[in-house]
Structure 1
Amino acid sequence: MQNITLGEINKFIVHSVGNKNSGDGVRFSDILTDFNRIERHIKQLVNNSFKYDELYQFFFLPNLELNPVYQFVSSIFKNKESFIEQSQNAGRYLYDKSTHPQIKSGELCIIYFNDCKINDEVVDCIGIFKSENKDTVLKVNNKENGFELTDEKGINTNKLDKGCLIFNIEKENGFLISVVDNTNRSSEAQYWKDDFLGIQPIKNDYHQTNQFLGITKQFVTQQLSEDFEVSKTDQIDYLNRSVDYFKKHETFDKEEFETAVFADSNVIESFRKFDQTYREENEVELSDNFEISAQAVKKQARVFKNILKLDKNFDIYIHGNRELIEKGIEKDGRKYYKIYYEEEK
């Protein structure tokens, strides 16, 4: 994970961008926005919203230079006097890409940060943020004999809807980018990352670890039961062993992982076919050996379900030894699980 610290805000501008399909239109600022009274709130919003575990870079086929947003930010980094013009170009391009019915109108804020730190290197940064959801706050006003309350809608300073930070480093590879998208998570509405920014994950240890654990989860929960007769407890056991391997190793070796997790040669062969098909269909490039990212393991472990749900009466959390739980059927047809343990806590 990169050690990143934001610098001071140097320029700030706000535009309004609507949904093109709805004919909302756009409204551009021709002057910079005064940020002196709100600078600490903006920096708080950015610091609360961004994590630097998974980083991205601009890309475009057949040539990176054809990516419009890459061109806009490159021009600003080269000549800061073009900030207003290029920010308007970015707003115009975002409007052209805002055609999905789920996309909401909102304010597009573009910010120039001076002297940010990435590890020991000092670089400038451009932030592009879009606010789509407004929070209601109650404002207390003085009156002659007391107070009155009025409601106002505004941007939440604790959570960003959409945004990216583009650091002026590794320009030839598409810069170094951190991104957040807390709305429109459905695949058909991923316009922020794909259609507008045109970015892809940097294939570092975090990306490799995250991707491989994701493939393993899909295999165990979707494909395994089609190829073999497996119980829910067997599936949970495979998931637990997968995470356990990544937690106990610093480096990943695919063959070692397959043997440790799946053991059976038929299951391993099924997994290899699924893995190859997934990579080809999703255009995923992964190495069979890489350094394991503890941050990615921690993230994926949260979504690896180890809960066995029995009707509406019981939830059994299975964290370890599969041999300590047995499944059976009574003569009258009722199903049961037998659980062995040494200590009650």
Structure 2
Amino acid sequence: MNEKVQVRLNTLAVHRVGNKSKEEGVVIAKDLVDLRDEQLSQLLLGYFLSPFKQEEYFRFTHTSDLALNELFAYATLMFNEPEKFYAYTVHILNHLYEQSDHPKVKSGELYVAYFSGCLMEEDYVDAIGIFKSENKDNFLSFEEAGGDLSMSYHAGINLKSVDKGCLIFNTEAEDGYRVKLVDANSTDALFWKEDFLGVAEIKDTNFNTKTYLNLCKDFSEEVFAKSESKKEQIDFISRSVDYFSKNDNFNLEEFTSSVIDEPESAERFKNYSQAFAEERDIEGFQDFAINKNTVRNMKRKFRNFIKLDTQIEIKFSGYNPEQSEQYVERGFDEERGMHFYKVFFHSES
């Protein structure tokens, strides 16, 4: 959530949730948080909303009936009956406790918030935020008295980012709302996303773009790596990223012909792509609109360097396929019995 100008934190409840398998129980706050302190409200807004920078949107799901998804049901009640907000936060707390039965799930504070003025595409809507803080940091505090300065420390929550969170936007209710997620702890990611929330990612332009670029990365590492050099793998990724950067729409035939020169490798890629889509039940994977923001974010995740066993690394700046193909050559020195890379340049710095 980069757009925080219009957003207001209207209501907030904070409870404590323990680990059920350890019988830690819950602590229910007696009342809502007093938000009349404007500085406190602004600090909480930044704490809650700053982690939501990703493009992915999710929606509530259920195997038989969407209405049976507990968080979907509570969100609907909260949007329709905001005067009963506090009571529903207790139900959410108890639901979270019931799902916190794995030994790795940490205890922590549960925050349930009601926001207004959240920008969703071109409309401002209300949203419900559910957050959990699990990790404590130590902080130094100082007190000046009688011309002297004393120092002490205490444990507290670092306001840089929440450990777990979701934003439920009051739109597309019939399709499970639109939900954003954040989870800093990968060891129990399924607990938050699936057990507690019961959400699935929406297969939109972001999903297709991200998934296909990951497919290219997997193909490079699993298939290309068996027969091609590291340079060929980087060239393939560079050409793939270049295609997604320069085109507004993806077409499998066009992509394959522009990225892979060898017909046999092109056919292997098509088969790999088809199997990938079938395994994940993805439709329309041969033609789709490209999400440019997702392409920019995905570039950071791809490896663009070659690490040699002589403790030398060759790093390519950005993803420019012409750069690699024109200025770097790979060969084999018969006399030394070693591979080599030849790099061409005009000047050095």
Give the TM-score taking structure 2 as reference length: 0.91
Inter-partner Cα distance in structure 2 for 1:299 and 1:255: 25
What letter is aligned with 1:77? F
Is 1:64 aligned to 2:66, yes or no? yes
What letter is aligned with 1:44? G
Is 1:190 aligned to 2:190, yes or no? yes
Instruction: Tell me if structure 2 keeps the 8 A contact 1:5–1:118.
Output: no
Deviates further, 216-225 or 296-305: 216-225
Is 1:292 aligned to 2:298, yes or no? no
Instruction: Tell me if structure 2 keeps the 8 A contact 1:58–1:70.
Output: yes
Instruction: Tell me if structure 2 keeps the 8 A contact 1:136–1:153.
Output: yes
Please name the residue that 1:277 is paired with: 275
Please name the residue that 2:8 is paired with: 8
Instruction: Tell me if structure 2 keeps the 8 A contact 1:326–1:339.
Output: no
Instruction: Tell me if structure 2 keeps the 8 A contact 1:219–1:271.
Output: yes
Cα shift at 1:52: 5.2
- How many correspondences in the alignment? 341
Per-residue CA shift, 1:234-291, capped at 9, x if unaligned?
1111111110111111111111111111222221222222222222333344532222
Please name the residue that 2:252 is paired with: 254
Please name the residue that 1:151 is paired with: 153
SS state at 1:60 partner: coil
Please name the residue that 1:243 is paired with: 241
Give the TM-score taking structure 1 as reference length: 0.92
Aligned counterpart for 2:299 among listed residues 298, 301, 304: 301
Inter-partner Cα distance in structure 1 for 2:189 and 2:3: 31
Instruction: Tell me if structure 2 keeps the 8 A contact 1:13–1:84.
Output: yes
- For 1:169-188, list aligned pairs within 5 A: 169-183=171-185, 185-186=186-187
Please name the residue that 1:322 is paired with: 325
- Cα gap change, 1:5 to 1:98, in 2 (>3 Å): farther
- Cα gap change, 1:312 to 1:75, in 2 (>3 Å): farther
Instruction: Tell me if structure 1 keeps the 8 A contact 2:183–2:189.
Output: no
Inter-partner Cα distance in structure 1 for 2:11 and 2:161: 21
Please name the residue that 2:56 is paired with: 54
Inter-partner Cα distance in structure 2 for 1:284 and 1:139: 54
Instruction: Tell me if structure 2 keeps the 8 A contact 1:2–1:118.
Output: no
Per-residue CA shift, 1:198-254, capped at 9, x if unaligned?
11222221111111101111111123334xx21111111111111011111111111
Cα shift at 1:50: 1.4
Inter-partner Cα distance in structure 1 for 2:293 and 2:190: 24
Aligned counterpart for 2:231 among listed residues 211, 230, 233: 233
What letter is aligned with 2:116? N
SS state at 2:21 partner: coil
Inter-partner Cα distance in structure 1 for 2:224 and 2:121: 43
Please name the residue that 2:142 is paired with: 140
Instruction: Tell me if structure 2 keeps the 8 A contact 1:330–1:336.
Output: no
Cα shift at 1:15: 0.9
SS state at 2:22 partner: coil
- For 1:91-240, list aligned pairs within 5 A: 91-183=93-185, 185-186=186-187, 189-226=189-226, 229-240=227-238
Instruction: Tell me if structure 2 keeps the 8 A contact 1:54–1:202.
Output: yes
Cα shift at 1:343: 4.3
Unaligned runs of 5+ in 1: none
Instruction: Tell me if structure 2 keeps the 8 A contact 1:4–1:52.
Output: no
- Cα gap change, 1:159 to 1:276, in 2 (>3 Å): same
- Cα gap change, 1:4 to 1:53, in 2 (>3 Å): farther
Cα shift at 1:312: 5.0
SS state at 2:50 partner: helix
Cα shift at 1:5: 5.8
SS state at 1:158 partner: coil
Deviates further, 326-335 or 208-217: 326-335
Instruction: Tell me if structure 2 keeps the 8 A contact 1:2–1:52.
Output: no
Inter-partner Cα distance in structure 2 for 1:218 and 1:285: 19
What letter is aligned with 2:324? N
Cα shift at 1:26: 1.3
Instruction: Tell me if structure 2 keeps the 8 A contact 1:259–1:268.
Output: yes
Deviates further, 135-144 or 107-116: 135-144
CA RMSD of aligned residues (A): 2.1
Deviates further, 34-43 or 229-238: 34-43
- Cα gap change, 1:119 to 1:275, in 2 (>3 Å): closer
SS state at 1:82 partner: helix
Please name the residue that 1:34 is paired with: 34
- Cα gap change, 1:277 to 1:30, in 2 (>3 Å): farther
Cα shift at 1:78: 0.8
Inter-partner Cα distance in structure 2 for 1:310 and 1:214: 24
Inter-partner Cα distance in structure 2 for 1:2 and 1:250: 24
SS state at 1:11 partner: strand
Cα shift at 1:313: 2.2
Unaligned runs of 5+ in 2: none
Inter-partner Cα distance in structure 2 for 1:140 and 1:112: 34
